[in-house]
Amino acid sequence: MNDPNRPAQVLLVEDDLDDVTLMRESFKINRFKANLHHVENGLKCLDFLYKRNDYVDAPTPDLILLDLNMPVMDGRQVLENIEADDKLKHLRVVVLTTSTNEEDVLKMYKLRCSSYIVKPVDFHKFQKIVTKLTGYWFELVVLPPNGQ
Partner 1 sequence: MTAQVTPVTSAPSASEGFKLSVHSLFKRSCGGIFILSSLVLVLGWVFKIGFFTYLVPGWPTMKPITAIGCMLLSAALYTSISPQKNKLSISLTLVLIFVSSATILDTLFSTRILTNDGLYSLPSDATAICLALSGWAVLSIHFKRYFISGLLAWSCLVLIIFRLMRLLLEGPQASYASIFDSMSIHTALFLGGLVVVGILLHPRLNYHRLILSPDALGVFARWGILLVLFLPTALITTVLRLAERQNANIESLLAISITLMSMFLVVVYYRILNEIKTREEAKHELISQLQTMMDVAPNGILLVDNNGVIQKTNPATNNLFGYNEGELLNSSIDILVPDNYRSVHSDHRNAYMLHPSEKKMAEGRNLVAKRKDGSLFDVEVSLAPMYLKGKQYIFTQVIDVSTRKALELKQQELNEQLSSSNAELQRFAYVASHDLRAPLRRISGFIQLIQSNYEGKLDTQADEWIDRSVENLERMQEMIDGLLRLSRISSEVEIYQPVSLQTIINEALELLSHQINKTKVHINVGLEFPDVMADKAQMLTLFENLISNAIKYGNSDAPEIHIAIHNQTSQKVVVMVRDNGIGISEQHLNDVFDIFKRLHSYQEYEGNGIGLAICKRIVEQHQGKIWCESTIRKGSTFFVELHKVQ
Site residues, partner 1 (CB under 8 A)? 16, 18-19, 22, 25, 29, 98, 119-124, 126
Q: How far is the CB of 14 from partner 1 (least distance, A)?
A: 11
**Residue ranges in the chain assigned as alpha helix (H):** 17-29, 42-50, 75-84, 102-110, 123-135
Q: Could you tell me which residues are beta bridge partners of residue 35?
A: 9
CA-to-CA dists, residue 70 to 30, 49, 57, 74, 148, angstroms: 27, 17, 24, 5, 26
Q: How far is the CB of 3 from partner 1 (least distance, A)?
A: 31
> Taking Cα atoms as reference points, which of 51, 63, 118, 115 lies closest to residue 92?
63
**Closer of 122 and 139 to partner 1 (Cβ):** 122
**Closer of 49 and 66 to partner 1 (Cβ):** 66
**Closer of 1 and 121 to partner 1 (Cβ):** 121
Q: How far is the CB of 99 from partner 1 (least distance, A)?
A: 8
